[in-house]
Every structure is written in structure tokens, then in C-alpha cells.
């Protein structure tokens, strides 16, 4: 495949900090969701009514370490997302963060011994190809700062 | 009809919310270092942006609408939702954020949407 024209221009290459933030998102997003899922499974069924049930549910949720690990990971994910969006295109970051689907499968396969179907591996391979194609485009095409500060 | 409306709310509020957060961050301007004080300053400035709050509210709406939808329909409901949100995101970025989505980026976005669809189908 021929590299798109903009990929050859030196000022438009993928910066290490963009790469780093996307890695943080791809790791922390799925990790956070996995921790939250694990925590909620440990807690079991959650009653919300009457109020006494709601209070006991909330106290069980808030005293489960996995829940806090999940919330922490998702906060890190969201901060990395905000930071990268402060300089890179949304249409660049959003598809790139889809690598998280591959991460979920890898985490499930290696840590939980889950079986990953061939269809899922195929999907992950296509996502990787798509992210590769997106990563060859200019990470930043917008001119917001100049537009908004004039 | 209700099915279609719920579907539209999830895609539009979810993607729209992310676009608003993105717009807020573009107004804040580029974060120049990862020093905790600098990161905190960027986050605080973002919280002062009205677009940030519009975005977070829309994302929360989409989240609860999705939870509601999953309690009514089965998981196959999320397949078109996730696939369409990537395409809606790229379109929204062109219109609302003035990003230049080149042919190559479209090719990548469509591949990602296809891959994500297969992953979701492969899970259910």
C-alpha cells in the first residue's frame, strides 16, 4: 500500500505523546471495565428499593476493591482521552482507541483463559489493519486554536 | 418506532457527547507536558468549558439509554450501534470540529467499524 501523501510530511508524523496517550487509553479502558465487571459479579444482585437495600448495596459496592480499581482505571482512561483530544483529531483518536477490543480479547485469553472465537480474532485483525491505515494519516488537521482565539 | 428512537438516541447522544468533549478540549488547547500540575490545570480548564458539561451529559444519557435498551432487547442490539458510532463520529468530526477526514482516514474508519462489528458478533 502506498503511504498517503501527508504521512511523508515531517510535521505531521505521529508524535510519541499521541502514541503514549492512545496506549494508556487502550490499556486502561478495558482494564477498568474488566475490574468493574469483576467487582459487580463479586457483589451479586443489587437491591435498590426500599432505601435500606439501596444503602446496603451502595456500601457493598464502595467497599469492594475491584470497583475502586475499575473507577481508577477509567479515570486514567478519561484523562488520557481528554489530553490527547486537546491536540489530536477526534476522527484519529476514536478509531485508534478501538484497539481496546483487541486488548479485551488478549486479557480474557491470557488471564482468564477465555476461548476467543475465530470470528473475534478476525474482527481484531481487521481493527488492527484499520488503525494502521488511520495512523498513516495526519493526526491533527483542525485549526481550532487559531479559530477560537482570534 | 420506539426501537428506532432509542437506537438514534444512543448513537447520536453517545457520539455527539464525545464530539462536544473533543470541542471543549480543542478550546482548552494543547497540553504541553505530563507533569501532574499541568495535567490538573488542563483538566480544571476543561471543566470550565460549557461544551464539556454538554458532552458529559450527552454521554451519560447515551449510557443509560444503552442500559435500558439492553434490558429490553438482546446483545445483538449493540452491533449496529457500535458500528454506526464510528461512522457518525467521523462525519461529526468533519462538520462539528472542522477536521479533514481524508479518503485514507475513511478507509481506516470503515475497516475499524467492520472489525468492531465482527468482534461484537463473535462475542454474542
- Cα-flanking dihedrals φ and ψ of residue B19, to 5°? -65, -40
Nearest residue of B to residue A7, measured between CA atoms:
B104
pLDDT, tens only, B45-63: 999 999 999 999 999 999 8
CB-defined contacts A:B, below 8 A: 159
CB atoms within 10 A of CB B38: 13
Query: Which chain B residues have a beta carbon less than 8 Å from that of A3?
Result: none
- pTM reported for the whole predicted model: 0.84
**Residue ranges covered by each domain of chain A:** 13-149
Nearest residue of B to residue A5, measured between CA atoms:
B104
**Higher pLDDT, residue A57 or B96:** B96
**CB within 8 A of A52, min separation 6: which ones?**
none
Q: How many domains does chain B have?
A: 1
d(CA B78, CA B66): 8
The range of the structural domain enclosing residue B111 comes to 2-123
Instruction: Name, of A24-38, B24-38, B97-111, the range with top average pLDDT.
Output: B97-111
Dmax over CA atoms of chain A, in Å, equals 64
Identify the three-state secondary structure at position A118: helix
How close is the nearest chain A Cα to the Cα of B2, in Å?
Answer: 27
Tell me if B5 sits within 8 A of B36, measured CB to CB. Answer: no
Average pLDDT estimate for B68-94: 85
**Residues B122, A119: C-beta atoms closer than 8 Å:** yes
Per-residue model confidence (pLDDT) at position A12: 63
Average pLDDT estimate for B68-88: 83
Give the Å distances, CA to CA, from A31 to A59, A76, A100, A113, B12. Answer: 23, 11, 9, 16, 26
Per-residue model confidence (pLDDT) at position A133: 95
pLDDT, tens only, A107-148: 878 777 778 899 999 999 999 999 999 999 988 887 765 445
Amino acid at each position: 500500500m502506498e503511504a498517503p501523501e501527508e504521512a511523508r510530511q515531517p510535521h505531521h508524523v505521529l508524535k510519541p505523546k499521541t502514541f503514549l496517550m492512545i496506549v494508556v487509553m487502550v490499556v486502561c479502558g478495558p482494564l477498568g471495565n474488566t475490574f468493574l465487571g469483576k467487582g459487580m459479579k463479586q457483589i451479586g444482585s443489587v437491591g435498590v428499593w426500599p432505601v435500606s437495600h439501596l444503602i446496603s448495596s451502595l456500601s457493598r459496592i464502595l467497599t469492594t476493591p475491584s470497583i475502586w480499581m475499575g473507577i481508577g482505571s477509567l479515570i486514567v482512561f478519561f484523562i488520557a482521552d481528554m489530553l490527547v483530544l486537546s491536540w489530536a483529531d477526534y476522527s484519529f483518536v476514536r478509531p485508534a482507541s478501538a484497539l481496546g477490543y483487541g486488548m479485551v480479547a488478549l486479557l480474557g485469553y491470557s488471564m482468564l483463559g477465555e476461548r476467543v472465537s475465530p470470528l473475534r480474532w478476525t474482527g481484531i485483525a481487521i481493527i488492527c489493519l484499520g488503525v494502521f491505515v488511520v495512523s498513516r494519516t495526519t493526526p491533527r488537521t483542525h485549526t481550532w486554536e487559531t479559530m477560537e482565539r482570534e | 418506532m420506539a426501537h428506532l428512537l432509542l437506537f438514534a438516541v444512543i448513537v447520536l447522544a453517545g457520539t455527539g457527547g464525545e464530539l462536544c468533549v473533543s470541542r471543549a478540549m480543542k478550546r482548552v488547547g494543547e497540553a504541553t507536558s505530563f507533569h501532574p500540575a499541568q495535567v490538573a490545570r488542563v483538566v480544571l480548564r476543561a471543566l470550565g468549558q460549557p461544551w464539556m458539561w454538554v458532552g458529559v451529559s450527552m454521554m451519560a444519557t447515551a449510557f443509560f439509554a444503552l442500559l435500558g435498551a439492553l434490558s429490553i432487547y438482546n446483545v445483538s442490539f449493540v452491533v449496529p450501534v457500535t458500528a454506526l458510532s464510528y461512522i457518525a463520529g467521523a462525519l461529526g468530526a468533519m462538520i462539528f470540529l472542522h477536521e479533514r477526514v481524508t479518503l485514507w482516514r475513511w478507509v481506516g474508519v470503515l475497516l475499524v467499524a467492520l472489525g468492531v462489528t465482527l468482534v461484537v458478533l463473535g462475542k454474542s
